[in-house]
Chains A and B, each alone.
Chain A
Amino acid sequence: MAAGFKTVEPLEYYRRFLKENCRPDGRELGEFRTTTVNIGSISTADGSALVKLGNTTVICGVKAEFAAPSTDAPDKGYVVPNVDLPPLCSSRFRSGPPGEEAQVASQFIADVIENSQIIQKEDLCISPGKLVWVLYCDLICLDYDGNILDACTFALLAALKNVQLPEVTINEETALAEVNLKKKSYLNIRTHPVATSFAVFDDTLLIVDPTGEEEHLATGTLTIVMDEEGKLCCLHKPGMFPPLQS
């Protein structure tokens, strides 16, 4: 009976719950889903983390490579994030080049890394002007059930904390890099940004950590990224159906 009503009038079905200040899965309006993290499971990657936010599952693998720095920033390394939303995570995505949502998520993660200064790019420098580290952070969504940005940020942070870089010395005679795989050190993570997403219902109600269905029924979403000192790193509000008064 309830399932029939939910199919025919999903918005009304949700409103009935929201009136009682709770949601169909039993959560309060301000409650997050159960979060689990699994760190370091992929041994071929230099750092990895798997995050499950309820049903939403994102895996992040970090691989470090050598690169030549750019001429206008000779002592800065690179951190290159990429979010992949493959067709296996949800039937709404199709195979082929990255769609809109994946590109927006990739850009969002790049902004978070840049704005929150999670890693000082100078820490990734091996030899100024000659050799720097580039960290390729690849995030793959395995199961899409809403709130992808929070899960990606969390997975990225956990994976970066797990990364171990070997010690590299430049041999002066041959000018070649020598990698000492026996001596590995963790990255220096300066801040810990955490993302929180909200969905706006009926222009008045804010709910935290929306599931896929809730995101679909909401009139808008909002994501805020803050670090542990209470500083705002990023605010992402991608449009809204009826414009709000300021």
Chain B
Amino acid sequence: MSGEMFPEPGWLSEEVKTGTTIIAVTFDGGVVLGSDSRVSAGETVVNRVMNKLSLLHDKIYCALSGSAADAQTIAEIVNYQLDVHSIEVEDDPLVCSAATLVKNISYKYKEELSAHLIVAGWDRKEGGQVYATLNGLLTRQPFAIGGSGSFYIHGFVDAEYRKKMTKRECQEFVVNALSLAMGRDGSSGGVAYVVTIDQDGAEEKCVLGNELPKFFDQ
């Protein structure tokens, strides 16, 4: 009998990654975050319904991509730090504070961690904001996309984004972008989670697979 009785399954050695599509877009009065729900370890899908939009504070969410463990841990740590910070200043934290905290961790441990978080939310000072924190950089953008599926929709979002969209238009834009990416990227799929944040709070929604918009599909 040959030595290799059963080849080692991917999930044994591969780290669990969220090969992903995440997107965050500002509209007039808030932000909309969206993500797919597929978590893979090698070629196996480990969880097909994971919600990658993590709460950092009441009106600040972050979207996780990259290594699942690293991203979840960063989100938990920043959640704790933001709680302490908001108690100290006796006010709701600013979105740029949350983004700076994420950036600090990403930059300090950039050699060990491999996670990319998009931070988005609403605060009283600047309204809806989206920050990208890739590998320790911090930049504010009108919209941001991330994850392996984002490569397929760069053209789409660049062409279709308009300033000052309404809340409905923005949610539609996010769901369209997600379905296009999920249709082309093998590591993205499942359902779409959408979170809308404005001055009244955060509203979470889940769009099931069969409710996603269909595009030209032969």
Chains A and B come from one and the same complex? no
